[in-house]
Structure 1
Amino acid sequence: MTTAKDIMSTGARWIPAHETLDRAAQMMRDHKVGALPVSANGEQDRMVGIVTDRDIVIKCVAAGHDPSKVTAGDLCDGTPRWIDATAEVEAVLDEMQSHRIRRLPVVEDKKLIGMISEADLARHLSDEQVAGWAERVYSYT
């Protein structure tokens, strides 16, 4: 049985909701990631969302806002999604497909321990599993 913990990338980093998007972009660059879970101010065990590099470009820069003034929390909307480290791969795929998300934080004992991205799926799953996932996540129906 392959679990979320088996396929995740380790070293996921939080960004506090009060941090600005220019700081988020710097963290993404420094850690070579495209997304950061956003924590409630001062509470790294409570996720309020995820900010992605695409969010920064589309929702901030392209909208004419200053990334040194907009916070990570400003971009968070909806219910944050995550998966338990012991969840089987099928549950990971179901969660990502049903919510059409490309990155999924992995939690163990209420602590962030990693992130699952498209690259992780491609490295660890069969071609059929990846193709099925991509079809559901990227389809526009």
Structure 2
Amino acid sequence: MTTARELMTPDAHCARTDETVATVAARMRDLGVGSLPICGEDQRLHGVVTDRDIVVGCVADGKDPSQVLVAEFCGEEPVTIGADDDASEALRTMMDHDVRRLPVIDGHELVGMLSQADVARAMPEDEVGRMLAAVSAPPSNA
């Protein structure tokens, strides 16, 4: 059984709830990533901000990224995967929640990030194909 811990990128960089969107966007650019977990002063996971969130939820709405705090992107409890959960569970979680990246937690501690690519490298081709089809499909209007 391959676990999320074995596949994840460890030591994930966090965006802090008190940082501006502009600061976080620059960090994402510098790190070459499309998302960052959002952590509070308590170092607990409060959410995830993506490059799409920044474009759609800030820039496209005419908001000033240097004035908007990333805390605005903390909403519902973020979708996560346990560090010792099986890779197939990570795949199901990604498909069920239509996400491409998962924060990996051990207890309440953020220990890494798991991406589609991480899972794809370790899973059988047919499962990867189903995952990509599921997360790439346009949203239904039902």
Scaled by the length of structure 1, what TM-score is found? 0.90
- What CA distance in whole angstroms lies between the structure 2 residues aligned with 1:49 and 1:121? 21
- The superposition leaves residues 70-119 of structure 1 with CA deviations (integer Å, 9 ceiling, x where unpaired) of 11111222221111110001111111111111110111243212111122
Q: Secondary structure at the match of 1:116?
A: strand
State the percentage of identical aligned residues: 40
- How far apart, CA to CA, are the structure 2 residues paired with 1:35 and 1:138? 17
Query: Partner of 1:138 in structure 2?
Result: 136
Aligned residues: 139
Q: Note if 1:76 corresponds to 2:71.
A: no
| 2:95 pairs with one of 82, 94, 97 | 97
Structure 2: how far apart are the matches of 1:17 and 1:50? 10
User: Quick one: distance in 1 between partners of 2:94 and 2:54?
Assistant: 21
> Comparing 75-84 with 52-61, which one deviates more in the overlay?
75-84
- In the other structure, the counterpart of 1:85 is 83
Q: Deviations over 1:14-42 (max 9, x none)?
A: 111111001101111222211111112x1
2:9, 2:105 → 1: CA distance? Answer: 12
Aligned to 1:124, which of 119, 122, 125? 122
**Runs of 5+ consecutive residues of structure 2 not aligned to the other structure:** none
Alignment of 1:8-47 (within 5 A): 8-40=8-40, 42-44=41-43, 46-47=44-45
1:53 match: 51
Q: Is the 8 A contact 2:45 2:110 kept in 1?
A: no
Q: Which moved more, 1:76-85 or 1:14-23?
A: 76-85
Q: Which amino acid aligns with 2:82?
A: D
Unaligned runs of 5+ in 1: none
Structure 2 CA distance for aligned equivalents of residues 122 and 64 of structure 1 = 37
Query: Which aligned runs of 4 or more in structure 1 are off by greater than 3 angstroms?
Result: none
Residue by residue over 1:35-81, the C-alpha shift from the partner in whole angstroms, topping out at 9 and shown as x without a partner, is 111112x111x211100111111111111111001111112222211
